[in-house]
Amino acid sequence: MRNATVAALIYEFLFDVYRLLDAEREYNCWLPDEHGVLREAFNHWYTSCWEWSTSVLEEAGATKALISKRETKSNIRGPFSYPVMTLDECHRADFSKFETFDNYCYAMFTFHQLINQTSGSEVNLDVRSPRFLEAVASEDDIFLIEGTHCVRFKSHRFGDKVMTHWRREMPVRTFRRKDSA
> Is residue 178, in this structure, part of any structural domain at all?
no
Residues in the chain: 181
| Distance from C-alpha of 102 to C-alpha of 105, rounded to nearest angstrom | 5
Residue 131 has pLDDT above 60, yes or no: yes
pLDDT recorded at residue 69: 61
The verdict on residue 39 lying in a domain is: yes
Domain range for residue 31?
6-173
E strand spans, the chain: 30-32, 38-40, 42-43, 63-65, 80-83, 122-123, 143-145, 151-153
Pinpoint the alpha helices (H) of 24-154: 48-60, 69-72, 87-92, 101-119, 132-135
Query: Is residue 137 situated within a structural domain?
Result: yes
Instruction: Look at residue 1 and tell me if it is in a domain.
Output: no
Does residue 73 lie in a domain region? Answer: yes
Partners of 145 in the beta sheet?
A: 151
Contact in structure between 162 and 169 (CB atoms under 8 Å):
no
Domain count, the chain: 1
Residue-wise pLDDT tens digits, 81-128: 999 999 999 999 999 999 999 999 999 999 999 999 888 778 989 899
pLDDT of residue 121: 75
* 23 part of a folded domain: yes
* 179 falls within a domain: no
Taking 70 as the threshold, does the pLDDT of residue 167 lie above it?
yes
Residue 30 has pLDDT above 70, yes or no: yes
| Cα–Cα dist 93/57, whole Å | 12
Closest CA to 172 of 99, 103, 97, 114: 103
In a domain, 180, yes or no: no
Put simply, whether the predicted model's pTM sits higher than 0.85 gets the answer yes
pLDDT digit string, tens, across residues 33-85:
999 999 999 999 999 999 999 999 999 999 999 986 655 555 567 899 999 99
